[in-house]
Chains A and B, each alone.
Chain A
Amino acid sequence: MKTDPAGVLTGAHYLDGDFACGEGAMAAGCRFVAGYPITPSTEVVERISRRFPMMGGTFIQMEDELASMAAVVGASWTGTKALTVTSGPGFSLMMENIGLAAMMETPCVVVNVQRGGPSTGLPTMVGQADMMQARWGSHGDYELIALSPQSPQEAFDLMIDAFNLSELYRVPVLLMTDECVGHMTEKVVIPPAEEIEIVPRKLTAQSPEEFLPYRVDGSYIPEFARAGDGYRFHTTGLTHDERGYPVMSAECQEICVRRLLEKITANADKIVRFDEEETDGAEVVLVTYGITARVARMAIDLARAKGVKVGVIRLIVVWPFPEKRIRGLATRVKAFVVPEVNYGQMVLEVERCAGGQAAVVGVPHGGGSVHEPDDICDAILRAAK
């Protein structure tokens, strides 16, 4: 369906990535935001708290990020689309209730404007070092979806996709942006509401008597009933059966958790998204995401000018990872080069998928700034040898 025009600021704007995230959320129909101030992400909720009173949205500044994430999960059970926004230290605190959202199968969106870590790290400076935390940060086995924008425009666009994916798969969706994209100001075109396609919360048509909150009937995604509609359902963070009742057994664990994984892994081909450029006949394929994809543009030009055939895979959906594509390319290219503003995270995924069939060269950077294009270019030249 088309989105609620009340949240859509149609037109061409000059916005930074954080503001674009906020506009994307409002355009996607998000009407509940709970947050706690943290640099460099706070501008997202500042933008939203300015505009929410005029569109039926509620923003609440919670006492910490534990509470923000818990409130978002609670709000989502009313059918209201819900968002929270943070950076590294707050992301760590949110892990607890991101796990709850995964276990209760609650649609919600979390933005992480990444800064340098660990701990308090570099509050005002860029990092991309939470990529593995995004995938593995909460305890136990679960799957979710993470996206990574390379520009303010893409931050806007991907926020809408993030909300839609969270509704389709009933998972928390993470927008893993970074301080550079967050604070970079560029042209952002916001289309009219009638051009913004959103996935509304789909309520079950079953009667309260026949409804079971986690029955899937052969599909992967259970039907949803919201609080207050007479279903009087039960949901829990404990391992549960299709009634949503706790069952402490290995058998129930297998059924409950396996489906949480398979609803994403079995649909990975539909979820995975990346830009691919000149990989046919490429000697070296650069695998990149977020702000680093922008920085790498110059490095690619430099390397091509020196005669190296460089292809590019730019991750848009980071998790689930495009395993099949990397496996397929691994048999045909000499090497993958993976620059990222961390000491080597997504490069581990590329290595895993390359399976020893192509060399994998990481270009680590500890954070606080982006790469020098020359450093990436040098890595490409070395890899091509």
Chain B
Amino acid sequence: MSIAVEQPEAVVEEHPVAPFLRMDRIPHIWCPTCGIGTVVKCIATALEETKVDVDKVSIVSGIGCTGRAAGYMKLDAFHTTHGRAIPFATGLKLGRPELLVTVFSGDGDLVGIGGNHFIHAARRNTDLLVVLVNNFIYGMTGGQNAPTTPLLAKSSTMPYGNFERPFNLPHLAASCGATYVARWTSLHIRRLTKAFKEAIRRKGFRFIEAIAPCSTLYARLNRLGTGANLMRFYHDHAEIRHGVDPRDVDIGFQDRIICGKFVDEERPTFTEMMDEHYSKTFGDKYVPLPPEGGMIRENSQSGDAAGAASSRREDS
């Protein structure tokens, strides 16, 4: 006997964030139970719900598993060199100040090879939203030790357990001057999405760490089970403590993961500092780069301090 199953009307054929994704590139390359896709979904939802002008949003990634995120998002997307997403994004932002520039990359990329850029962009309070997906390991290259690998966790290059102290990333970001610092895991979908929404509306160097499972390498090398086991671990061991001192949020091997919003303050950005200083110094002689950038346009008439570069920044 066969039963005819009718598709209920409520079934929607398109994924809710499909307009923010390059559906022609799906399926993606991420492993089953990898947490990166969840983080992408959260930021796409945040972009949708904040109703920002998506045409003005850029995403910049470096290299690695998370570095592939730029390639799946239907934004102006830049898949750059290993570790250099932040300086590339700095050029993009300063070249056209009206853009909302997001950096989306992994722990090895942003604070391993790219660590120097990370601290200096935070110090300058460059106006960037930096999303770091932390899976505690170098995934793309096969499970090598990362600057975030917890003490005693195993990796392919620390086969007897890691004896290097890892970074406490919220503390690193906060101490260098980040104006928004939060950490969530890929289990905390609503809270992570809310953090993205908040951070999108802020300015300055905003840093969100998203802890995500790597079952193919980190979990396998450390016999932690599958992705579902890791999600269960996040459920049981994540402690939400908003406003806690970022010095106290480091992550031990299979130890508690303190989540929450640790920093949310306002400080002038690099561009605002520059504008203010030069306006004071030069008065009306100061000509800031306009919001739409310093491109000299073909149709502009020379003689009027040509083109785009002649108008003052709107908010100055």
> Which residues of A line the B interface, CB within 8 A?
1-6, 29, 31-32, 34, 53-58, 60, 62-64, 66-68, 70-82, 96-97, 99-100, 193-194, 198, 200-202, 226-238, 245-246
Contacts and interface: CB of A to CB of B under 8 A. Distances in A.
Given A193-B302, A198-B296, A232 B55 contact: yes
A6 B310 contact: yes
Contacts of A226: 96, 293, 295
Q: Which 8 A-B pairs have the closest CB atoms?
A: A74-B91, A31-B294, A79-B295, A78-B95, A56-B309, A75-B95, A71-B91, A75-B91
A80 B306 contact: no
Contacts of B84: 66-67, 70, 96-97, 100
B88 interface: yes
Contacts of A78: 91-92, 95-96, 99, 293-295
Contacts of A231: 76
Contact of B287 (A56, A76, A233): A56
A279 B306 CA distance: 44
Interface of B: 22, 25, 54-56, 58, 60, 70-71, 74-81, 83-84, 86-96, 98-99, 116-117, 120, 270, 274, 278, 281-282, 285-290, 292-298, 300, 302-303, 305-310
6 contacts: A6-B309, A29-B296, A70-B81, A70-B88, A78-B92, A226-B96
B305 A74 contact: no
A99 B81 CA distance: 9
B90 A71 contact: yes
Given A73-B91, A78-B92, A63 B120 contact: yes
Contacts of B290: 56
Nearest to B68: A246
A62 B80 CA distance: 17
Contacts of A193: 302
A238 B282 contact: no
A56 B95 contact: no
Nearest to B55: A230
B124 to A, nearest CB: 8
Contact of A74 (B89, B289, B300, B303): B89
Nearest to A7: B309
A228 B91 contact: no
A64 to B, nearest CB: 6
Nearest to B76: A227
Contact of A235 (B78, B98, B289): B78
A6 B90 CA distance: 24
Contacts of A6: 287, 305-306, 309-310
Contacts of B309: 4, 6, 31, 55-57
A237 B302 CA distance: 36
A194 B302 CA distance: 8
Given A67-B117, A79-B96, 11 more contacts: A31-B294, A31-B296, A34-B87, A56-B309, A57-B294, A63-B87, A66-B83, A71-B91, A72-B91, A79-B295, A235-B77
A228 B56 contact: yes
Contacts of B60: 74
B90 A53 contact: no
Nearest to A64: B116
Contact of B94 (A29, A68, A75, A202): A75
B91 A237 contact: no
Nearest to B100: A228
A60 B90 contact: yes
Given A5-B303, A100-B80, A227 B99 contact: yes
Given A6-B309, A78-B295, A97-B84, A227 B79 contact: no
Contacts of B92: 74-75, 77-78, 227
A284 B116 CA distance: 52
Contact of A5 (B81, B88, B286, B306): B306
Contacts of A66: 83-84, 87, 117
Given A6-B306, A70-B81, A78-B95, A200 B87 contact: no
Contacts of B295: 78-81, 200-201, 226
A232 B287 contact: no
A73 B87 CA distance: 9
B294 A80 contact: yes
Nearest to A196: B302
Contacts of B93: 74
Nearest to B90: A71
Contacts of B310: 6, 56
A82 to B, nearest CB: 7
B287 A53 contact: yes
A227 B80 contact: no
A237 B78 CA distance: 9
A201 to B, nearest CB: 6
Given A4-B306, A236-B79, A246-B71, A200 B94 contact: no
B302 to A, nearest CB: 4
